[in-house]
Structure 1
């Protein structure tokens, strides 16, 4: 007689639950306002730096590898275990780093607004403890740190959490490219396909990046973001 297989079911259910939680956190439908930001892309379109599908794909791929992987993703990779282990001093240090390295008022306003919104979402959902939510709220939370808190409540590994965050970012940025260049839906899907290929190596870099090698030095992006603050006509808040 074959051995019963029922003991494996709880493990499968746990994996499915974690996967669905990550899909939820990465969804553009999450009410944190990510759709309203282009992170400087709209300014790049305005000044003629990005005018085609190929240029948009290259711009976003560079941003993923040169900025996101070395900044936000690296912060999240450290913040998830810190939340799980209750290391609040470490969380505060990571949050302060994000705030200090946002190079324009628009980029800082974005991470603060999305962080607050995600924290409010967490208050209305099971998972994070009230103590951790209050500790996060006291920090003037940034989006990467708030996302790390939400992701830490799942049973997913840190790598999977980073993949979810990066894909959510890619979807939002692809939509920004479609609206601002503008491009068609098929072009948007090709851009998303390229970013999907670029995300795994970016995540691997973030996972192994020590504190001393995190960086947010993106001078052209900062210049474009600053220009966007006074841009005459715009669709996005950054």
Structure 2
């Protein structure tokens, strides 16, 4: 597939893609953290750090590994691998709010990507074709954006993991609630754990990707009918 020369330097583009200010709505999702607060599982910075550390581990085995494999597939023009990845991402969303988040953020990121001098028309057409009638999953769209940026995969994944961590800590500040200093302690813990999570994501083959987390799925389902909430998931 043809590519477009991006005038934005790779480091700035990488920072941009990881920024909480990217207009994809990530700030509106807590990924069941709010439900964990409601049920007493998260109540201070220590428990928030433990919760998000577990979430980071799940991310490494699941969506972060999917992004890593998507980067390789986009750079190799491997359409079959991209179709398999799109299918896996679609069938592993087991809660309504998880499907809402992945589709909404994916569509918003695709809209943003179409307005940037990055992806070629052929790449964008392939992305839409791989998803069929379903909304493009966030991880698949992000893997395309990161594949275009001329940086090693570990750097791309590290930036994404830190962007995720920032959003989740901001959610914890509001939902627990936590003070800014306590939030920074949580973020410090996650930053220390991100390199190992990235290494695990890169080393995870497609057959070993998994998002099996029954308790998280139950909390996500409970959040759908939670009486009072700030977030969409």
Q: Same fold (TM over 0.5)?
A: yes
Report the RMSD for the aligned CA atoms in angstroms: 1.2
Aligned residues: 223
Residues 119 and 137 of structure 1 are in contact (CA less than 8 Å); yes or no, is this contact kept in structure 2?
Answer: no
Offset, 1:85 = 1.6
- CA deviations on 1:75-130 (whole Å, 9 max, x unpaired) are 01110011112112211111110111112010111011111110000100001111
Q: Is the 8 A contact 1:26 1:167 kept in 2?
A: yes
TM-aligned CA deviation for residue 134 of structure 1:
2.1
Q: 2:31 aligns with which of 23, 29, 39?
A: 39
Normalising by structure 1, report the TM-score. 0.91
Match of 2:55 in 1: 63
The reply on whether 1:22 has 2:11 as its aligned counterpart is no
**Could you tell me whether the CA contact under 8 Å between 1:94 and 1:145 is conserved in 2?**
yes
Aligned pair partner of 1:136 in 123, 127, 147: 127
Give the match's secondary structure for 2:105: helix
Match of 2:173 in 1: 178
**Alpha-carbon separation, structure 1, partners of 2:110 and 2:207:** 28
Consecutive unaligned residues of structure 2, counting only runs of 5 or more, are 1-5
TM-score, normalised to structure 2, is 0.93
* CA displacement, residues 122-159 of structure 1 (integer Å, 9 cap, x when unaligned): 10000111111122123131111100101111111111
Q: Which runs of 5+ in 1 are unaligned?
A: 1-13
For residues 102 and 79 of structure 1, the distance between their equivalents in structure 2, rounded to whole angstroms, comes to 18
Map of 2:147 onto structure 1: 152
Moved segments of 4+, more than 4 Å: none
Quote the Cα distance in structure 2 between the aligned partners of 1:190 and 1:17. Answer: 31
